[in-house]
Amino acid sequence: MLTFLPAPIVGIIAFTLYIFNTLAIPLLVLIFGLLMYIMPIPPIRRFLSKLVHEILPNWWISMSDGIIALTTKTEWDIQGTGDLRLDGWYLLISNHQSWLDIIVLEKAFKQKVPMLKFFMKRQLLWALPVAGIACWVMGFPFVKRYSQEYLKKHPEKAGQDLEITRRACEKFKDQPITIMNYIEGTRFTEEKYLKQQSSYKHLLKPKAGGFAFVIAAMEGHLESIINTTIIYPDPDTSLWHFMSGKVKKIIVRYEVIPITSNMLGDYFNDAEFRRKFQHWTNQLWHEKDQLIDELLKKQL
């Protein structure tokens, strides 16, 4: 462990290692991904596919775990209910507070479920020259979201973001998958919280429409929802604080919820289904809000 060093030094070391990890593994993914697409021999192509979609991503997670062990003394409190399998089909939902959330989720569910695939903004495909294209090769769904202001000026674009999401989900129907969706739509900040006038104490309002659409777009292929709650007892927790070894504790709670027929429907054209799904999602978020409140009080 390097936590005996001054926090800024630890942070710089951790940052450098994360950058190396985020560049080196994606570069290997690009190289072997290209070989996979041009390889005419089926057995070798299948091995390269496994390398690109399973082995190399797991190396990234293992290296990330190694960096965590080297640079932090964080206490991890991870507990959950329900069975998880590496050959399962899941939709993982979570509250969203920091860029650190990605590292937390990867650590919490490593070797418990298929690799997490995050919905990513299409702009990141080129904004992250190596990692962005590598994520595309690995099958991460890239979506283009239109703001309400843009749709007012271009009404012909209405519904296109949903169609893009539907097409992104198509590739997930042939192999076990864990689709990750932050259903608040954005990271929590006090500014966003106040602007929304959220009725929750610790959360932004959930966006039930995108949540319902992903379930429907998979057309019954998903087995369960992993309802995940990330709690940082220290309100100043950030990715930099974590890399600097300053985060003392991280709490993760999850529950596996089977997907039943009453969760499937046409959210945008069936008013009764939309009302029921919104009510269920809001109740789920209300319980999550209470859980966060209870666990934070226990840390005092």
Q: What is the pLDDT of residue 25?
A: 84
The domain total for the chain is: 2
How confident is the model over 30-39, as pLDDT tens digits? 888 889 888 8
105 and 8 within one domain: no
**DSSP alpha helix (H) spans, the chain:** 7-38, 42-50, 56-71, 100-109, 124-127, 131-137, 148-153, 160-170, 190-196, 208-217, 239-243, 271-299
Distances (CA, A) of 276 to 82, 135, 261, 271: 24, 35, 13, 9
248 and 182 within one domain: yes
Q: Which residues pair with 118 in a beta bridge?
A: 180
Q: Is 203 left (phi over 0), alpha (psi -120 to 50) or beta?
A: beta
Distance CA 176, CA 36 (A): 20
37 and 98 within one domain: no
Q: What is the pLDDT of residue 215?
A: 86
Tokens encoding 158? 């209405």
**Coil vs helix vs strand at 62:** helix
110 and 69 within one domain: no
63 and 190 within one domain: no
Q: Name the pLDDT band for 156 (thresholds 50, 70, 90).
A: low
Q: Give domain status of residue 22, yes or no.
A: yes
The closest alpha carbon to 203, from 276, 129, 97, belongs to 97
Kindly state the average pLDDT of the residues 110-137. Answer: 72
Distance CA 209, CA 281 (A): 10
**H-run or E-run covering 128:** none
Distance CA 220, CA 208 (A): 18
How confident is the model over 128-143, as pLDDT tens digits? 666 666 776 666 766 6
109 and 8 within one domain: no
Distances (CA, A) of 11 to 15, 68, 101: 6, 11, 17
31 and 96 within one domain: no
Q: Give domain status of residue 136, yes or no.
A: no
Q: Give domain status of residue 95, yes or no.
A: yes
Which of 48, 73, 98 terminates a domain? The answer is 73
220 and 84 within one domain: yes
Q: What's the whole-number average pLDDT of the chain? A: 85
Distances (CA, A) of 270 to 81, 144, 210: 32, 24, 15
Q: Give domain status of residue 126, yes or no.
A: no
Q: What is the pLDDT of residue 67?
A: 94
Distances (CA, A) of 290 to 27, 99, 113, 262: 43, 23, 26, 25
Q: Give domain status of residue 35, yes or no.
A: yes
Q: Give domain status of residue 127, yes or no.
A: no
Distance CA 253, CA 227 (A): 8
The one-letter amino acid code at 244 reads S
CB proximity list for 64: less than 8 A, separation 6 or greater: 18, 21, 103, 106, 107
Q: What is the pLDDT of residue 286?
A: 96
Tokens encoding 162? 């949903």
Q: Evaluate if residue 149 carries a pLDDT over 60.
A: yes
Q: Which residues pair with 94 in a beta bridge?
A: 228
How confident is the model over 215-266, as pLDDT tens digits? 887 777 889 999 999 999 998 899 999 999 999 999 999 999 999 888 988 8
**Coil vs helix vs strand at 180:** strand
How confident is the model over 178-206, as pLDDT tens digits? 988 899 988 898 999 999 999 999 999 99
108 and 9 within one domain: no
Q: Give domain status of residue 155, yes or no.
A: no
103 and 69 within one domain: no
Q: Which domain holds residue 12?
A: 1-73
230 and 90 within one domain: yes
The closest alpha carbon to 99, from 139, 128, 136, belongs to 128
Distance CA 131, CA 28 (A): 10
Q: Evaluate if residue 213 carries a pLDDT over 90.
A: no
